Structure 1
């Protein structure tokens, strides 16, 4: 169908406003630091002292300028640096002066913790103005390293290059030295090169940032504003080859189940694998993994989804997180993406057809046989990413009276992702594309899975007037193939709901064996140059779009128009370091032309001079229609909703700091409400120990929670109930740093979500203006409760017309990880891990705290004890 004229007009208006902007203000001159090759001179000893004679070969940098809180003013303390290089390494020395040496924040933490006083160098070695490598060193020598993309809009802390650093404190302040292998960077083969660089200092006790190259508050990005590193001549190609084998010893203990051969109380296994990184050129690398293990990865937080949709969890496995920015193809909401790496190695989608009385050993995850990733960026502006992965046939084992059989629950599957982008117009514009393919080797009993799935996309971005204004967009298409059963299941899934009874534009075709859909985004706006920023655009996802084989798509069949407008102060005021405000608006339609949602929000942030902060937000939703609320039934109307939230934070430089606040929503006629509150305490009694506690409570009652659907005299009854839904959780973190290379970390989260249902009803007029016209409530003569089942005699003729199970529940979970990590030599690590988990249900009639006690403290947990050793060979 055609996009509504209103949405097209909004996008065109936004583009017109940006294109009519005034001339750009002059660009700031680029500062230049000139380095030199040390030649035959003795390299500096990395001890943090900066007293080696070789440092005299170059000059100190000029003085820094403050970035925040008061941009373009002299900083509180002076900072200087020097840079040298040879055929294999870049050497960086930074002197951070401090007139109160005893007050230097000497906090320890795990890698990438960025706590206390620190300095960093950012290096745009391929000079694309959009990506850089960041190396950070604290006053206590703690390392930080990140790969930044999107002109500083995305920082990837999973990037862990091999490099060395050392810091020391003296009577003038503190200093640090870094030794960065050129093999960890990407650069061209030109004989003489110019790199972008930025050196930053964070002065902890005043929460102050200062820079070598000034970056105005109004600048449209981070990396595009870097200064320049000159003097790089004759850099040799770095043929990087790193091989990292690993071994894992794993013991699982759990409560024994009498008679179940698969739950005898413990399991032990020994595993091994290999990771490798090969530098094909200076700017392109090949990453390989064989039989990867991700045992030390932190557990996902507990969550319950009453709307039936899949819960999105962030990727945490290092192989897939590294260089994620190259493969990323977000085209709609924050989570919609053509590549969602957690599909690779997913939990099996099938379950065996086991006979009654049999025991089943169902695998938790699918084995990844191997994966390869070729990625990088060339000097000509080509970003290249190719990922290939194969997962094994995964079987569940069935034991019936000692007779064991196996049944396939996840087929041999090949995943492929190809990504390409090209910069041009002095790196102010790019165009790109992506292609993904998922191919499964299906057995007959898994015909409900799609056999093939392909997606493709084209994206672009153009920036002008100093990158202050932009227009960008992307278009995606998908094509899935499979049996009639598989494609019918796709059509009726919650993502698509072609079976929705009042839909005039889609319907289920049980004979289809393929499905093709489209989606995309167009937007334009202003991102720098003054107090005001804005953007607006259109996002669409056709009803047939399907990405969930190797991507993530929550819901198809939507067109969204949005507009965002924000204001910020550019300098501190008498009382505030920073003030910002924002206005956001969006509307959504489906492809049947229904206006489903209208929403407006107004918010702001205040950062006080004492570094305390307040964040407030108010939302008004005058129109809310949900196509999926009745799981294939008609569109459902929720009453007008208003929402308000406020969160308060204290100074992060203090040993005790906290963030606390609440959010409240209420709907007309008390259709539903939500109250959420949380507190985040963090205390650092010593420089080496940090303790954090984050309890939260959520109360979310509703008069119209979906329960089930059933047949009544040939018609469908959609049954709702009044739900009393409460959730209580608390995450606990302990970080103890023995030294920068030896850390102990603990994470734990008890969680309980309880739902009690009452006042059952059935849908009569789902889009009525008055809440009580949308349903009829069963009276006491129509519904009775017997042994866990509600029986409904709707026509009151003493004969049960239909029934449904009691939907009350109380879900309890506890997850924890205790990890000791020792980087015994750079790039080689030893992990000792203890993971503990409890999952179950308790009596929903109990209080939340009692439920936690019964479900966690009174239960025997599952335990995993794991030792993982890696050794990185650099050849």
Structure 2
């Protein structure tokens, strides 16, 4: 443990030596004072000729934020804000000496292309969260919920508000009408809110702001100016009900003899989404029988390491306000709450005999779900989520005789999240609790009956938020049958059966498992050109989160440290330059020193807005506990990797970016080469076409295949794999107007793996690659094409000792969505969707393009035609 301790002490305390070297300059807070108005409210038409606007003065004197911070912008901007009992009204004039050059590109909601202006409002005045309302010169709306002091902008927040724009001889103008019911604020005779107004001057890729925010500031929301003059406004208790009706037709290739695959299925369904303002601070969201048919398909992926693949949440109910429930306790994607568990694929499969056909449900039905969330004026953030998924049955047909078997039980999911700000919003302490409870029957006893997780987290900022200390701890408890807990102990996340592990072993009599995890980190977030952080993460072997969270691997202690540099002014031919050096080491709970890695990353953006990203890493020590799936620790040879990407100006109608990642291990243990790119063409303001091809090659001399019993000895079988993958993401967006658009997404995907030179592990941690395995001689291994098995005769004595299946694979898939979306009135939508998919398993000996042709172009696809109609009632 000595290398770990020395590195951790050094990297953790070195920043303290620099504590006083850089001081953050306090920027005076600007104040805009609003007022009510007399007479009629302004007409929201983008033309600022209403008499009521004379009730307030202009806020102006914007300052450039990018690329040359704290200098006068090319063109000035000014704004007015006024209010009445129900609405906040905003007028913005974006002065432009050449109005014919204003860029007015169309897109769907939250498409921030071309010239735009936005207003950010911190109505909680907590210096961490805010509401952002953006409008482009073309009239496209954008709205986002800001959290984590500007480090997270959630575009899934879709409030009802109104806006129009207009171009005239002085530039362009925008009017906004924002219902107070869409904001969150407490009761007070006079409100003080955080305020920022920002403009993008597209031709020069220039940002200017009303309140100056230095590029070395520790955050975004904490640096806002202030909005004063809001007197006697009353919190608005909104009530929104949104029923939906959906019709769906599925077509697919008919399967002879299978009564469940007769060529087509039709369904009619409906449900309700709702939002109730319990107070103006806290909102109750609920859904009954939600439909997610218009959601884009997940990208195709293959994991040769056996671990589960993380997919981002795309379902609207779970995406909205997700920041309140977020609890990333470690690194990567580990999270106490992973909403994709709710409505997951059924985990059971029926027992069948030859000749039987199965209709297996694809997802668990969400009977209902509700969220109670928000933030009070005195700093309490509250989130409660409750969801119930129903029993799912597979239907089995045996020559016309039908029966049902349970494949997913009735399950209740609960998540509770609480945080409290204090110390003038510079400190918060919070907690989370999750519970999963299943009503199990005998055939599903391999699942946990109950799973509970609790956590505490905190963050403290000081010296004007320049420095911070944060941390969290997590404890988990799962309970179930002996079978369920044994399966958990033996799962890839835990591997208690690992043959060389002295600190864990499988207990077949256990009916519960309790573990812990956590993270502590210190860092510098602002002030000057340098940033740094250092910390420690741990996950005990018994930690288990995967009932309603996401945990890739337990049994790890990780130390890490990062040092970063960024310019705050243009330098020579560069707009921005940034660089980062990172280091980490890992251990397991037995004290095995498993890994150390050093990495450098750099980014340079030129004055012409082209960019270059480069990076390199050195991994002198790589031991993996999970590679042999319960076998001993495995050593990979020393590795070096590097990458380089470049991109053209993203504002241009024709733009592109390309890059390459290359990795090479010592003794040619493995290689990795990936080439990817993106080409986007926008021939008109309404049409955008893009394609993002990607190719990777990943040959490996020691790819895990399987494990077999050889006369009482376990053989861990490896092979030399030639793995190649080719895919392309294709997107087409046509926007008729800001409320009516057509979008297409498609992804062909093919991955081929061919194995040869099979071997078994002899000394898994040997320094020399060739000492780690014994490779079968030609007279010891034969392939039986009839059974598709490799037969092993160790010693070539004429006796077959064991066999294993042919691991070659060729996976081909095509997924696409064509969606017409029409927001015919604010908050109410019509979707027309056509989804198409093909999945095939080709010949691994074919080349990539041949497999793509045979399995996609040569196959009849499955189609889904869907129409969804929603109407939002605001009461």
TM range (shorter): over 0.9
Aligned to 2:654: 656
Give 3-state SS (helix, strand or coil) of 2:590's partner. coil
1:245 aligns with 2:243: yes
Relative to 1, partners in 2 of residues 1:195 and 1:254: Cα closer, same or farther, differing over 3 Å? same
For the 8 Å contact 1:734–1:747, the answer to whether it is kept is: yes
Q: Which string of whole-angstrom CA distances, capped at 9 and with x for unpartnered residues, describes residues 645-675 of structure 1?
A: 0000100111101110100000000000000
Unaligned runs of 5+ in 1: none
1:14 Cα deviation (Å)? 5.5
Aligned to 1:75: 73
1:12 Cα deviation (Å)? 5.0
Aligned to 2:544: 546
1:173 Cα deviation (Å)? 0.8
Aligned to 1:861: 861
For the 8 Å contact 1:14–1:536, the answer to whether it is kept is: no
For the 8 Å contact 1:7–1:538, the answer to whether it is kept is: no
1:532 Cα deviation (Å)? 0.5
Give 3-state SS (helix, strand or coil) of 1:165's partner. strand
Q: Within 5 Å, give how 1:455-470 maps onto structure 2.
A: 455-470=453-468
For the 8 Å contact 2:22–2:527, the answer to whether it is kept is: no
Tell me how far apart the structure 1 counterparts of residues 22 and 672 of structure 2 sit (CA, whole Å): 47
Aligned to 2:520: 522
Tell me how far apart the structure 2 counterparts of residues 6 and 713 of structure 1 sit (CA, whole Å): 46
For the 8 Å contact 2:493–2:553, the answer to whether it is kept is: yes
1:635 aligns with 2:650: no
Aligned to 2:407: 409
1:606 Cα deviation (Å)? 0.7
Tell me how far apart the structure 2 counterparts of residues 777 and 400 of structure 1 sit (CA, whole Å): 47
Give 3-state SS (helix, strand or coil) of 1:685's partner. coil
Aligned to 1:272: 270
Aligned to 1:790: 790
Q: 1:320 aligns with which of 312, 318, 321?
A: 318
Tell me how far apart the structure 2 counterparts of residues 12 and 685 of structure 1 sit (CA, whole Å): 52
Aligned to 1:739: 737
Tell me how far apart the structure 1 counterparts of residues 44 and 712 of structure 2 sit (CA, whole Å): 81
Q: Within 5 Å, give how 1:727-806 maps onto structure 2.
A: 727-787=725-785, 788-806=788-806
Aligned to 2:397: 399
For the 8 Å contact 1:15–1:471, the answer to whether it is kept is: no
For the 8 Å contact 1:753–1:811, the answer to whether it is kept is: yes
Q: Which string of whole-angstrom CA distances, capped at 9 and with x for unpartnered residues, describes residues 182-229 of structure 1?
A: 000000110101000100001111111000000011100000000000
Tell me how far apart the structure 2 counterparts of residues 379 and 22 of structure 1 sit (CA, whole Å): 36
How large is the Cα RMSD of the aligned pairs? 1.2
Aligned to 1:30: 29
Aligned to 1:293: 291
Unaligned runs of 5+ in 2: none
1:557 Cα deviation (Å)? 0.3
Tell me how far apart the structure 1 counterparts of residues 662 and 21 of structure 2 sit (CA, whole Å): 42
Give 3-state SS (helix, strand or coil) of 2:430's partner. strand
Tell me how far apart the structure 2 counterparts of residues 34 and 286 of structure 1 sit (CA, whole Å): 33
Give 3-state SS (helix, strand or coil) of 1:855's partner. helix
Tell me how far apart the structure 1 counterparts of residues 25 and 357 of structure 2 sit (CA, whole Å): 73
Relative to 1, partners in 2 of residues 1:26 and 1:570: Cα closer, same or farther, differing over 3 Å? closer
Tell me how far apart the structure 2 counterparts of residues 2 and 276 of structure 1 sit (CA, whole Å): 57
Q: Which string of whole-angstrom CA distances, capped at 9 and with x for unpartnered residues, describes residues 370-393 of structure 1?
A: 001000000110000000000000
For the 8 Å contact 1:219–1:528, the answer to whether it is kept is: yes
Tell me how far apart the structure 1 counterparts of residues 604 and 852 of structure 2 sit (CA, whole Å): 37
1:795 Cα deviation (Å)? 2.4
Tell me how far apart the structure 2 counterparts of residues 249 and 10 of structure 1 sit (CA, whole Å): 62
1:93 Cα deviation (Å)? 0.7
Tell me how far apart the structure 2 counterparts of residues 384 and 697 of structure 1 sit (CA, whole Å): 45
1:23 Cα deviation (Å)? 7.8
Aligned to 1:139: 137
1:120 aligns with 2:99: no
Q: 1:358 aligns with which of 350, 356, 359?
A: 356
Q: Within 5 Å, give how 1:649-688 maps onto structure 2.
A: 649-688=647-686
Give 3-state SS (helix, strand or coil) of 1:850's partner. helix
Tell me how far apart the structure 2 counterparts of residues 363 and 315 of structure 1 sit (CA, whole Å): 20
Give 3-state SS (helix, strand or coil) of 1:781's partner. helix
Q: Which string of whole-angstrom CA distances, capped at 9 and with x for unpartnered residues, describes residues 134-153 of structure 1?
A: 00000010000000100000
For the 8 Å contact 2:4–2:585, the answer to whether it is kept is: no
Aligned to 1:822: 822
Q: Which string of whole-angstrom CA distances, capped at 9 and with x for unpartnered residues, describes residues 816-866 of structure 1?
A: 000000000000000000000011100111110010000100000000000
1:25 Cα deviation (Å)? 3.6
Aligned to 1:383: 381
For the 8 Å contact 2:327–2:336, the answer to whether it is kept is: yes
Q: 2:225 aligns with which of 224, 227, 232?
A: 227
For the 8 Å contact 2:22–2:528, the answer to whether it is kept is: no
TM-score, normalising length from structure 1?
Answer: 0.99
TM-score, normalising length from structure 2?
Answer: 0.99
Tell me how far apart the structure 1 counterparts of residues 39 and 544 of structure 2 sit (CA, whole Å): 60
Aligned to 1:171: 169
Give 3-state SS (helix, strand or coil) of 2:503's partner. coil
Query: How many residues end up aligned between the 2 structures?
Result: 873
Tell me how far apart the structure 2 counterparts of residues 795 and 10 of structure 1 sit (CA, whole Å): 53
For the 8 Å contact 2:482–2:511, the answer to whether it is kept is: yes
1:8 Cα deviation (Å)? 5.8
1:9 Cα deviation (Å)? 2.7
1:24 Cα deviation (Å)? 4.1
Tell me how far apart the structure 1 counterparts of residues 142 and 727 of structure 2 sit (CA, whole Å): 31
For the 8 Å contact 1:14–1:535, the answer to whether it is kept is: no
Aligned to 1:843: 843
Tell me how far apart the structure 1 counterparts of residues 810 and 288 of structure 2 sit (CA, whole Å): 41
Tell me how far apart the structure 2 counterparts of residues 554 and 58 of structure 1 sit (CA, whole Å): 56
Aligned to 1:870: 870
Aligned to 1:619: 617
Aligned to 1:254: 252
For the 8 Å contact 1:24–1:466, the answer to whether it is kept is: no
